[in-house]
Chains A and B, each alone.
Chain A
């Protein structure tokens, strides 16, 4: 997939995320308890979507970075076994990104969603 396609994919994801924005605010309907409850339930769904996006998008980022580093590392190891450790370390560097995504999603679910 070329870079343009990646951008399209990203734009499509953002669009879907926009669609998922809450249409009503829970606070403005205090007179109607049912509506408020429904909106709160709704909000939980949005939090779940957000948490999923946080891990998913971060995972894509890590994957893109790791694919290049990984292929270079495999090449280096094929040339000389001694490169294994360095290859492993370099390949592991972008993993931090997806861990950040994971932490954000955990915060979303456990702190916001609680």
Chain B
């Protein structure tokens, strides 16, 4: 927590003939993060794949092409297949592949034919309205035929005057027969009138007969194509799971076979270099003793170790946000534990509604059960569930409302009891500085739409912002102290912290909450901070100092989004209950409005509130202390989901 896991450097060397066993062992334990060897100057060479590598890649290409042809999509893993079974059955891949290729060829053939018939059909349909055998429209030696569209307002009187010209006109098409001798002149007139030519279909028969013939042809082709599609689908469902398992197994084998590509080798020996979590070194050492190789563990190293985030299980989902920003360096604070607290806190404050809170919890749980096999989606589900929990808390005990309706109203009008959170007021009375006392005095719940409630929400969000930003600077200060020196830490972090605190002390004194001399103190602190900033960063320090305050003010969005979310839900309820009403047939519309409206607010909550809460972390908080740019710990080995190497004993 707050720090990435300690890493130890490990070097393994031995005879090349042990590489295959070593690769199996490292894959099984998945503990060592390899440092790729890429310096060929010092007498070593990069190794080449293990003996089974080439064959594995070949199989893998075949399996993947079949998966693509059959459009197999991986379903959530149910019961893992045994590796020994897969290796026994893999010879079948050839017959499946040839079947898939054949079906794919036939399918493409049908596609081409259908396209052809469709284009013919389109041509013929233009000629449907002129009742003339299509044979008569082409194949003359002394006569030219023009067929095409002409704008409705065009003037064809010029053509009518000419001799040897016959015009047949319908809504869709105009056909002009003309003797070859005057065809050029006619063409010019037609083009002047905006004539667009249409190809005459090269078939015989009346257009309507041809059309119906083509249509029956098309439907036949379509049904045959459908049959092929069904066949492909059938094969895909029959072999899909097996293919996915095969793909996984051979990907894993391929990764194992590629181990030497990352090592330094000589003709007979190899050297492997990597990082192992310090806690797991002894496990790996024990396993390595079975092999005839030499290894060495060094505690300290000049190089930067990879980062293995180390958090309790409940915080793990929030590592997603940390990784999304940037992997922290090993000497930096690892912010997951803080986001674990603040992200759902901000989210809960913003939505602050028991009804939506419950809905988010259920939706999060739904994502976890439905898409749990994908690590990232499961993490998102867990984050949403946690956010929902906080929303439920704020909605119940602070704002006492559900779906934009206060508990008091629900309790009073529908449930018939008005105690505790269902009461008009509950909990002890309290005082809020700066905001004038309401009548009756301050007590929970906070009504978002009362002027007092809105002021309190804005004020408390800015105070939270002040704490959050200060924490960011303090963590940044400690980071700089550890990595650089006191001077650097003072100039780059303490300076802005002092500016912020000085400004706030002065401001609080101005509004009368601190004695008069604090104003002077605040200004002095601010000036000291500004001096440090200018010493450290030059003129940029002066330019940057207002951003500290705008960062804090930015947290006002917590209150603002809280108000607007409530406003939306309130409006939906108002339209449904007060404007439409629940009487007779209108009840249907009212319920429809309620459903659509609350679903919209729910979705906006995820998109708007979720993003805004994250943005506060990234823009206002992380920029103060996370530099990032570390390498994520990615141990050698393949995580199997669809296959299992050992017999499972039930």
Contact = CB atoms under 8 A, between A and B. Distances in A.
Interface of A: 84-85, 88-89, 92-93, 95-96, 99-100, 102-103, 106, 109-110, 114
B615 A88 contact: yes
Interface in B363-390: none
Given A85-B326, A88-B618, A89-B619, A96 B455 contact: no
29 contacts: A85-B325, A85-B326, A85-B618, A88-B611, A88-B614, A88-B615, A89-B618, A89-B619, A93-B619, A95-B554, A95-B557, A95-B615, A96-B550, A96-B553, A99-B550, A99-B553, A99-B554, A99-B556, A99-B557, A99-B560, A100-B550, A100-B553, A102-B556, A102-B557, A102-B560, A103-B458, A106-B458, A106-B556, A110-B455
A93 to B, nearest CB: 7
A85 B324 contact: yes
Contacts of B560: 99, 102
Interface of B: 324-326, 436, 451, 454-455, 458, 550, 553-554, 556-557, 560, 611, 614-615, 618-619
Contacts of A106: 454-455, 458, 556
A99 B549 CA distance: 12
A28 B611 CA distance: 51
A110 B611 contact: no
Interface centre among A84, A95, A96, A100 (most CB of B within 10 A): A96
Contacts of B455: 106, 110
Contacts of A95: 554, 557, 615
A96 B557 CA distance: 9
Contacts of A114: 436
Contacts of A88: 611, 614-615, 618
B379 to A, nearest CB: 15
Contacts of B557: 95, 99, 102
Given A84-B324, A110-B451, A103 B553 contact: yes
Contacts of B614: 88
A74 B325 CA distance: 17
B339 to A, nearest CB: 13
Contacts of B451: 109-110
A106 B557 CA distance: 12
Contact of B615 (A84, A92, A109, A110): A92
Contacts of A110: 451, 455
A76 B519 CA distance: 47
A95 B611 CA distance: 12
Contacts of B436: 114
Contacts of A103: 458, 553, 556
Contacts of B326: 85
Nearest to B611: A88
A85 B556 CA distance: 22
Contacts of A84: 324
Given A85-B324, A85-B325, A96 B611 contact: no
B510 to A, nearest CB: 13
A114 to B, nearest CB: 7
A88 B610 CA distance: 12
Nearest to A84: B324
A92 B623 CA distance: 13
Given A96-B553, A106-B455, A106-B556, 20 more contacts: A84-B324, A85-B325, A85-B326, A88-B611, A88-B618, A89-B615, A89-B618, A89-B619, A95-B554, A95-B615, A96-B550, A99-B556, A99-B557, A99-B560, A102-B556, A102-B557, A102-B560, A103-B556, A109-B451, A114-B436
Contacts of B619: 89, 92-93
A27 to B, nearest CB: 24
A84 B611 CA distance: 12
A96 B555 CA distance: 10
The 6 residue pairs across chains A and B that have the minimum distance between CB atoms: A92-B615, A85-B325, A85-B324, A92-B619, A96-B550, A102-B560
A93 B615 CA distance: 10
Contacts of A96: 550, 553-554
A92 B550 CA distance: 13
A103 B560 CA distance: 10
Contacts of A100: 550, 553
Contacts of B556: 99, 102-103, 106
Contacts of A102: 556-557, 560
A99 B555 CA distance: 9
Contacts of A89: 615, 618-619
Nearest to B458: A106
Nearest to A110: B455
A102 to B, nearest CB: 5
A102 B556 CA distance: 8
A81 B557 CA distance: 27
B31 to A, nearest CB: 27
A99 B618 CA distance: 17
A103 B559 CA distance: 11
Contacts of B458: 103, 106
A84 B436 CA distance: 44
Interface centre among B326, B436, B451, B560 (most CB of A within 10 A): B560
A18 B619 CA distance: 38
B336 to A, nearest CB: 15
A103 B458 CA distance: 9
A99 to B, nearest CB: 5
A25 B51 CA distance: 94
A88 B615 CA distance: 7
A96 B458 CA distance: 15
A110 B450 CA distance: 12
A114 B452 CA distance: 11
A85 B323 CA distance: 10
Nearest to B560: A102
Nearest to B436: A114
A114 B437 CA distance: 12
Contacts of B454: 106
Contacts of A109: 451
A21 B347 CA distance: 40
A96 B550 CA distance: 7
A86 B553 CA distance: 22
Nearest to A55: B560
B451 to A, nearest CB: 7
Nearest to B451: A110
Contacts of A93: 619
A89 B612 CA distance: 11
